[in-house]
Structure 1
């Protein structure tokens, strides 16, 4: 599935993936005591789409989904976090290119690779990029945005680690193994 070209299937996945990202962000998020920061199940879905459809789809789903979520929820877009959603989707897709979930394979080695990849992507995104961009773009207080970034990052790492792994295991089970057919 992870082709360098933008196939019709990938374009449809980006559209549907962006819509599902918005729905999950709006209706399947758990508030935290930290202002404007919630536990998001949408990133587990984003990770699934990034693994299945690759970095370009993952990045665009994160970008479009987050823009639409912010526009619908707040009436304006918080660009620093939108950039991080793009980065997280793209980076997970890029780092997991060797995982062949489309072939019905998602073994322990793949689970470890997936989780290391998502932790790297999200740690850089939420612990470094989001707070730094908040300070640079919006002149937000440093202690506030780093607290938000740490809470968002930890919750997203755990959510993707648990729900994302379960989604990928379930998805792999729906696919035919690449050498499951035998010639008689």
Structure 2
């Protein structure tokens, strides 16, 4: 918890607010009930990699809960839990990708996309539908369809937009070997 600084707390607050705005206003409707293509997860992946698993998890939890509460009037906890899961595990596993050093080349891009795809597949293909059935007694065929669509669209969205965000962020960082001693 030594890295849980004021900077991280501020990032959680701002990150949750940005997640809410993206989920509410920069989502693409689909024909599947209560399921949209979300750009918010690309931002969540960036925040998880940069600020770590606790920040990523809390941004996913708070941002998704606020979006549900303001959009539907209630919180759909099974999917909120998956947003926490996705933010936490991309943040945890994403620490291997040290964008703070100004590096985000092909190797890091591939590693990031394998990590995010596996984490999201577990979350959306398995965890979300199982929790929907256990918590809300939803029909399995409905929730596994929703989970599959959400998972695939989130994997693609994070793969494209998340990769661009991380590459752009890495370019703003100073490479550790970029300064020469005179």
Q: TM-score, normalised by structure 1?
A: 0.97
SS at match of 2:56: helix
Mapping 1:114-133, distance limit 5 Å: 114-133=112-131
Deviation at 1:4, TM superposition (A): 4.5
| RMSD of aligned alpha carbons | 0.8
Deviation at 1:98, TM superposition (A): 1.5
Deviations 1:40-99 (A, max 9, x none): 000000000000001110000000001110111111100000000000000101111111
The residue aligned with 2:174 is 176
Equivalent-residue separation in structure 2 for 1:93 and 1:113 (angstroms): 13
SS at match of 2:95: coil
The residue aligned with 2:65 is 67
Equivalent-residue separation in structure 2 for 1:97 and 1:20 (angstroms): 22
Q: TM-score, normalised by structure 2?
A: 0.98
Q: 5+ residue gaps in structure 1?
A: none
Mapping 1:137-152, distance limit 5 Å: 137-152=135-150
2:21 is equivalent to residue 23 of structure 1: yes
The residue aligned with 1:106 is 104
Equivalent-residue separation in structure 1 for 2:107 and 2:174 (angstroms): 19
Q: 5+ residue gaps in structure 2?
A: none
2:155 is equivalent to residue 157 of structure 1: yes
SS at match of 2:37: strand
2:24 is equivalent to residue 35 of structure 1: no
Equivalent-residue separation in structure 2 for 1:24 and 1:170 (angstroms): 19
The count of corresponding residues between Structure 1 and Structure 2 is 182
List structure 1 segments (4+ residues) > 6 angstroms apart after TM superposition.
none
The residue aligned with 1:12 is 10
Mapping 1:37-52, distance limit 5 Å: 37-52=35-50
Deviations 1:4-32 (A, max 9, x none): 53100000000000000000000000011
